[in-house]
Chain A
Amino acid sequence: MTISLKPNNSSPEKLQPTGWLKYLSFSLDHKVIGLQYLVCGFLFYLIGGSLAGAIRVELISPLSDFMPREVYNQVLTLHGTIMIFLWIVPVVNGAFGNYLIPFYVGARDMAFPRLNAVAFWLIPPSGLMLITSYFINGAAQSGWTAYPPLSITTPAAGQIIWILSVLLLGGSSIFGGINFIATILKLRRPGLKLMQLPMYCWAMLGTSILVVLSTPVLAGTLILLSFDIVAHTGFFNPSLGGNVIVYQHLFWFYSHPAVYIMVLPAFGLVSEILPIHSRKPLFGYTTMVFSIMGIVVLGLVVWAHHMFTSGTPPWMRLFFTIATAFIAVPTGIKFFNWVATLWGGKISLNAAMLFSCGFIINFVLGGITGVALAQVPFDVHVHDTYFVVAHFHYIVYGGSVFVIFSSIYHWFPKFTGKMLNENLGRFHFIITFIGFNLCFAPQHWLGLNGMPRRVAEYDPQFQLINQISSVGALLMALSTLPFLWNILQSTLYGEEAGDNPWNALTPEWLTSSPPPVENWDGEAPLVLEPYGYGKKDSNETQEAIR
């Protein structure tokens, strides 16, 4: 097999089903694959969201009365696993990465189109396998962290299926990561320097480095765990002389960077959206690039902050406190730069902008509680409580999910050639924002006051706050309805968008909407200033690029 870094324009593989059927085929077109990731991810999001709903219904009353306790733990495990491995990671990386990166580097496809298709097609079967384990013999019930010895002593079938599907999903993301690194570094249009790339490329480069370095560690760990389960080896099994803490170190060596695998691409997407809708250059391009790389480096060395209560020696606690807290510095730079990007702009308050700004506000709160959690004495009290549940949902929902919605509002015209309804979009934002904060803000209090996480029953004194939280979750669930309606309605009858409805300068907008199979009819435009707003009239800049 020869692998060509220059996709061949006339290869017969490009002759593929057309119409909507192409989305159910082994398409090699990066745009098709991107949308496959997006739609598939969204379907899993609906499943993961329903499971979250079930959890919140159980927690309306202090007793375990809505579902059996084993089922609660299965639902909880499935919810966490689906949301991370089948929704956020595939969508912020796979979906937008595949769709946008070739445009941004001026290529006609990804470096390895076939590998790309394989990476996507690993996802639906592993996801289905994970979910069907619930009906076969009961899904895994040891949480998405699968700490031994619990994961060794709970029923094996579900846990093994869980391991298999996470391994496949990990493989998928490694394939994706390799592909992004190769595409960004090797397929750049001649004349385009790294420091002229749109910020999302940098975010994806950083993310892919994390993926390639840390996911194999998770894979190895889970393989050892599966040996412990099926072959009764004793790597992590204390009754056979194994060490349970070693698993935690290995697991978090992947899973802490995984947080950045979920938010760094989101940072990149926001950096694309804010300049366009505030008609200003991205503020501080260079510091933005360095802060991404700073986050990558620091992100790799802070994993043990998840283990402050698991018997780590004091020096380790200190080191990991300081290293963790320092991530606030590069992250802070990005947030100040975004606000500076808004400053003095001509801001359109459309749905994409609102979701991005909602992201900034939510993530700042999630980041603040994160720095607090990095402090050992503080963490010791709230570790494994609802304070942590609140903190990470502010990061993954208030961060990544808000950005995914923002990105859908922003790129939908590119995907389909149709506009989304802005008023419905703003309505969607308002309900989501209120519901989200109502659901997760009170949980900080719950954790501080004594409610542990992953429990189906709790002290009755926490009932009122849990009910408020559940009402928030209901609002969030309802808020998907105007969104789905908007997508459906606009895809079918939406207003024509034209090629470049936002009057943007980034390369994907300088072709037709939706773009042709080869991305550009003629040669790819050479965009050296993707954020050149305000220079002269940006219309002229656009003409000049063409």
Chain B
Amino acid sequence: MELSNPSLPNNIAITTKLDEAIGWARESSLWPMIFGTACCAIEFMSVAASKYDISRFGAEVVRFSPRQADLLIVSGTVTYKQGPILKQIYDQMSEPKWVISMGACACSGGFYDNYTTMQGIDQIIPVDLYVGGCPPRPEALLDALLTLQKDLRTNKYNPNRHENFKGLLDNV
């Protein structure tokens, strides 16, 4: 829902309330799309399994279709060969959307400083949260999820935050 909807009353007090209502609703209805490529995806499987259980935080309905998801979790190494695929998946997700970059490879290329590995997915798509670790422990990913949820609840979400982002594949 776009808050600049002209049919809504232009009243600051009500808009703030609406923000809060929307933030509250968004917080616990995140639909993750898991872009798992490597070791981190195995750790994501742990996050989804009973012991860590991501569903406790209202984000368990893992979608594998970008059209049905609003939280992209990139877990694993992204190579130059994988780049256009990731970009396409991101573009296919509808707003509002968020991106968590899980693990050293997705954040920065990790220790794969070589001819094939992209040195961080933020070269092609904007990232909201970075989770370090190789791979990160499940708690670290849950922490990122909670951080994101807190931001949503406290209205830190700015739909225009990536407006000026220009990635390597955007020039084409």
Asked if A and B bind, the verdict is no
Chain B residues near A (Cβ < 8 Å): none
